[in-house]
Amino acid sequence: MGRLSDANDANNKVVATAEGLTSDAFHRLLDLAITGRGKLQGARTIANNQLRQRNDQEDAIRWLSNQHIALAGGQGFATNWGGFLLSLVTIPANMAAAAFVQARAVAAIAHLRGYELNDPRVRTAILMVMLGPRGSAALIASGDLPSSAAAVATAPAFDPRLDARVSRALFEHSMNHVSGKRLGVFLAKRIPLVGGGVGAVVDGWSTHSIIQHAQEQFISRRPRATAYVVVVEES
């Protein structure tokens, strides 16, 4: 009976933490993902660094994509280590961490493709991409969202009501993601190593899907960057 009570208390703590989050949290998280803070580099910085190193925006995107997929998977594994009971406490924090990694990856792709990250239309589009391809398509089909992220990023004007709807949809999507991951860890039979592996797979797979969606939606608006070539004319 005591163990059941402890489990219920832990579960209530998760719910309370999740309910303490608001859709506005994703705006703050996106701002941090773009600008960075201290040693935590933002999307602009990491994107520009890779572009300087590789002299090609698509090569930079490939490198950043692989890095963030690995980071999301590793983060999920570390947070979920300890199996089912510990995951009841750590999943909300892991949700925020995975969302940060995904937001930074999507913002970096948008930046490399020539989109202005200070533009509120682009920020709304980034949040739409974070819904994933299936989540976005379902909301467009139901009429909750008017069009694709690509169209929103280049719309004539910023729509604050649309931005609010997207933020709320992302919040609900993230809550569903948490529930699905909790079920996956439960099915891992509460074995620490297996439970951590389930978390890593879920976070890594969802990040991979979102990054692919970002590359489809943020079509390049500038020519590919190439190395500078100095041409010397013969006299």
Classified as helix, coil or strand, 115 is coil
Helix residue spans in 1-82 (DSSP H): 2-20, 25-35, 43-54, 57-80
The owner of tokens 């609900």 is 172
Domain boundaries, the chain: 2-217
Helix (H) or strand (E) holding 104: helix 83-112
On the 0-12 / 13-18 / 19+ scale of CB atoms within 10 A, 45 is middle
The owner of tokens 């992302």 is 170
Tokens representing residue 43 in the block: 């999307």
The owner of tokens 């309370």 is 16
The owner of tokens 């010397």 is 232
Sign of CA dihedral 205, 208, 212, 214: positive
Q: pTM of this prediction?
A: 0.74
pLDDT in tens for each of the 235 residues of the chain?
Answer: 455 455 445 444 444 444 445 567 788 889 888 998 877 889 999 999 999 999 999 999 999 999 999 887 775 534 543 333 233 334 455 567 778 889 999 999 999 999 999 999 999 999 999 999 998 998 899 988 889 999 999 999 999 999 999 988 888 877 765 544 444 444 444 445 444 454 556 677 889 999 999 999 999 988 754 444 444 444 4
